[in-house]
Amino acid sequence: MNKIKRVAIIGGTHGNELTGIYLVKKFDRTPELMVRSNFETIALLANPQACKTGTRYIDIDLNRCFLHQDLENPNLSSYEAKRAKELYHILGSQNGHQQDLIVDLHSTTANMGLTLILASQHLFNLQLAAHLTSVYPNLKILVSEVENQDSPLLISISELGCTVEVGAVAQGVLDASLFQETEALITTILDWVEAYNQGTISPVKHSLTIYDRIQAIDYPRTESGEIEAMIHPRLQFRDYEPLNPGDPMFLTFDGESIAYAGKSTVYPIFINEAAYYEKGIAMYFTQKKIVIS
């Protein structure tokens, strides 16, 4: 594969996720932290208006605006739809930067720890993930690949890309430990890309554990659409832990447990994510897999 020409560090895709926003601002003040010998690094805020207002978005979720049909639709006039087109022009393949790596920084109210979400299972992404897990053993690797390769997510602009999720942290709040962990992860990514371009990367001699997203799970609801049960206390904050058939999953307001009725063990993530209430998502189910990078 050709060398990486540019790394784009993106913060503020959601304007109330402060870790990425303030890291981008730090990189703007001290760009020497990003400089490496053989590629360009840029840092930018994806949704500057939402960052100013401290809200997740202005009109619609920017991280759902990157489907090809939406990017090519001149009639979409929301702020985020227009901003998605601008970002695609800056970061997309048509700008001549065919080997861009995009790192999109997010935080979550779910107990996801330090998570890397890969844009695809491209060998480059898997090699990078394997290296990062060798440096950060607690780092989780999540694959959220769309079968037809058309995704609404910002990282889908480039095949070589990842989202960094850190949590649990409340919306609109900075957590110093998570900030430092994210900054250290970015530094390690930049160092590895530099070594990759130089052809000096050391092979990682261990298998890679990934979590492959299966499906989104909604809360139990009444016929009128009202939520009628909460995340069960025994499941709350247990992201990436096994959920076995018969384990408690939800708790009604009357105190009745609702068990997981599936036939195989799954690994829930984004459990009780605050931003997903509006999307009708209580959690995602994943499968745990071992791959060789």
pTM confidence score = 0.95
Q: What is the DSSP string of 57-99?
A: -SSS-GGG---HHHHT-TT--SHHHHHHHHHHHHHSGGGS-TT
pLDDT of residue 27: 98
pLDDT over threshold 70, residue 98: no
- pLDDT tens digit string along 7-20? 999 999 999 999 99
pLDDT over threshold 80, residue 275: yes
- pLDDT tens digit string along 32-62? 999 999 999 999 999 999 999 999 999 999 9
Residues 6+ apart with CB under 8 A from 201: 127, 131, 192, 195
Contact indicator for 58, 50 with CB cutoff of 8 Å: yes
Token representation of residue 237: 């904050």
Could you give the 3-state DSSP secondary structure of residue 7? Answer: strand
Task: For residue 211, count other CB atoms closer than 10 A to its CB.
Answer: 24
Q: Sheet harboring 100-107: ordered strands across?
A: 40-45, 6-11, 100-107, 161-167, 113-118, 140-143, 208-217, 283-291
User: Backbone phi, then psi, for 248, in 5-degree steps?
Assistant: -65, 135
pLDDT over threshold 70, residue 99: no
Token representation of residue 260: 């997981």
Domains of the chain: 6-206 (3.40.630.10), 216-285 (2.20.25.160)
Q: What's the chain's average pLDDT?
A: 94
pLDDT over threshold 60, residue 94: no
pLDDT of residue 97: 52
Q: What letter would DSSP give residue 266? A: B
Residue 253's pLDDT band, with cuts at 50, 70 and 90, is: very high
Token representation of residue 287: 């499968």
CA distance 87 to 65: 11
Crossing angle for the helix pair 176-198 and 18-29, nearest 10 degrees? 60
pLDDT of residue 96: 53
pLDDT over threshold 80, residue 281: yes
Residue 2's pLDDT band, with cuts at 50, 70 and 90, is: confident
Q: What is the DSSP string of 187-221?
A: HHHHHHHHHHHHT-PPPP-S-EEEEEEEEEEPPPB
pLDDT of residue 119: 87
pLDDT over threshold 90, residue 202: no
pLDDT of residue 146: 58
Crossing angle for the helix pair 176-198 and 123-135, nearest 10 degrees? 130
pLDDT of residue 95: 54
- pLDDT tens digit string along 108-167? 999 999 999 998 899 999 999 999 999 999 999 999 765 556 899 999 999 898 999 999
CA distance 183 to 81: 29
- Taking the mean position of all CA atoms in its chain, how far away is CA 146? 14
Percent of the chain with pLDDT over 90: 88
